[in-house]
């Protein structure tokens, strides 16, 4: 899920373009004195992400009070967060621990492909969760019919599957371009902008395909979420009592907070003007939506959702 990056490498003279077999992920190499501190910090963060999201997955499966479409989608979203962060964070930890920053051409392409697929999955799942809240608040009488178990399963499967062909094709297209002699990726993982920056020659077509992919897999789900919440706000404002309005908004607040965290950082990263891109800024922002958001997801749902808090109490009491 990316859009065109800053100007890429200039076209290399004949014979200077190489068929690279590996790249070098620079990562945190600019702060060598902080390597072990960052390693320890990221280990703690990774454990928090796995335990927090794993707990959400568990309670949405075993607690009878959470057997509703909203928590069904939440469980799968938390599972996708665990997968998403596991594509990038273990490699970052390995690089910090061993100081071996090389990554093979195939491994880099594989990492990018899974990152894009899981990123697209999360975008669609967040849109599905917004649609679920829209139906629950705007069409409560038809909710059991419209969001029956079969439909919920189809929506989840569709969210996981629909991004695969496009993202596999996009990854194949990016790694089919010739790369210049420089093989240093100024990033923590193989993301589209820093990899495409190493390409030689005219990559306008590649940049346009990346931009179209970002529109489909990022902007379209985001616009669906905006549409759903505009309808929800319109409906809630018409409710007769303040208590009803507060209750309706409370069922959406956790999801809305995660949407702001995830889409906010991703859109700032990939849709801001290419002239404002810099390696340092891009790395900080990418850490935010690949690491910080998955870490805060279970916290947001636990602190702002009474049903989840009660389920956690029952789980820990047992």
Give pLDDT tens digits for 268-291.
766 665 555 556 677 777 787 788
pTM exceeds 0.85 for this model: yes
How high is the mean pLDDT of the chain? Answer: 85
Q: What is the rounded CA–CA span in Å between residue 197 and residue 195?
A: 5
Instruction: Give the start-to-end residue ranges of the domains of the chain.
Output: 22-317
Give pLDDT tens digits for 33-79.
888 999 999 999 999 999 999 999 999 999 888 999 999 999 999 99
Tokens 């829209």 belong to which residue? 134
Task: Give pLDDT, residue 121.
Answer: 95
> What percentage of the chain carries pLDDT values higher than 70?
88
Both tokens of 170, joined, read 């996009």
Residue 11 gets which letter from DSSP? P
Question: Which positions ≥6 away from 94 have C-beta within 8 Å?
Answer: 100
Task: Check: CB of residue 70 under 8 Å from CB of residue 76.
Answer: no
Residue 22 has pLDDT above 90, yes or no: no
Alpha-carbon distance values, 160 to 13, 105, 114 (Å):
43, 25, 11
Q: State which CATH number among 1.10.3720.10, 2.40.160.40, 1.20.1070.10, 3.10.580.10 fits the domain covering 22-317.
A: 1.20.1070.10
Residue 317 is inside which H or E element, if any? helix 306-317
Task: Give pLDDT, residue 106.
Answer: 93
Task: Check: CB of residue 300 under 8 Å from CB of residue 254.
Answer: yes
**157 or 255, higher pLDDT:** 157
Q: Which residues pair with 18 in a beta bridge?
A: 179
Task: Give pLDDT, residue 8.
Answer: 53
What is the SS3 assignment for 184? strand
Q: What is the rounded CA–CA span in Å between residue 197 and residue 100?
A: 22
* DSSP-derived secondary structure for 79-94: HHHHHHHHHHHHHHHH
Q: How many CB atoms lie within 10 A of CB 309?
A: 13
Both tokens of 125, joined, read 């799942």
Which of these ranges, 10-14, 143-147, 183-187, has the smallest mean pLDDT?
10-14
Task: Give pLDDT, residue 9.
Answer: 52
Q: What is the mean pLDDT of residues 256-267?
A: 82
Torsional sign, CA 197, 202, 206, 209: positive
Both tokens of 166, joined, read 């496009």
């Amino acid at each position: 899920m990316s859009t065109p990056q800053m100007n890429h490498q200039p076209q290399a003279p004949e014979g200077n373009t190489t068929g690279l077999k590996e790249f070098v992920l620079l990562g945190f190499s600019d702060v060598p004195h902080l390597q072990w501190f960052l390693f320890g910090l990221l280990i703690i963060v990774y454990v928090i992400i796995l335990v927090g999201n794993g707990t959400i997955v568990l309670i949405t499966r075993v607690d009878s009070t959470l057997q509703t479409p909203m928590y069904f989608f939440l469980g799968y979203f938390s599972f996708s967060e665990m997968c998403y962060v596991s594509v990038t964070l273990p490699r970052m930890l390995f690089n910090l621990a061993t100081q071996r920053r090389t990554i093979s051409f195939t491994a880099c392409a594989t990492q990018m492909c899974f990152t894009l697929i899981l990123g697209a999955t999360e975008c669609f799942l967040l849109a599905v969760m917004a649609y679920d809240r829209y139906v629950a608040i705007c069409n409560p009488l038809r909710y059991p019919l419209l969001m029956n178990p079969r439909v919920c399963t189809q929506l989840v499967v569709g969210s996981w599957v629909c991004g695969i062909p496009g993202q596999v094709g996009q990854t194949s297209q990016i790694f089919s371009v010739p790369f210049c002699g420089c093989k240093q990726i100024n990033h923590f993982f193989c993301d589209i902008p820093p990899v495409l920056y190493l390409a030689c020659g005219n990559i306008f077509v590649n940049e346009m395909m990346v931009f179209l992919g970002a529109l489909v897999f990022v902007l379209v789900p985001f616009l669906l979420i905006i549409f759903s919440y505009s309808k929800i706000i319109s409906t809630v404002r018409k409710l007769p009592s303040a208590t009803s309005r507060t209750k309706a908004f409370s069922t959406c607040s956790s999801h809305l907070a995660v949407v702001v965290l995830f889409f906010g950082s991703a859109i700032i990263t990939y849709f801001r003007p290419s002239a404002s891109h810099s390696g340092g800024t891009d790395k900080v922002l990418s850490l935010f939506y690949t690491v910080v958001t998955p870490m805060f997801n279970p916290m947001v749902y636990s602190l702002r959702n009474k049903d989840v808090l009660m389920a956690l109490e029952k789980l820990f009491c047992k």
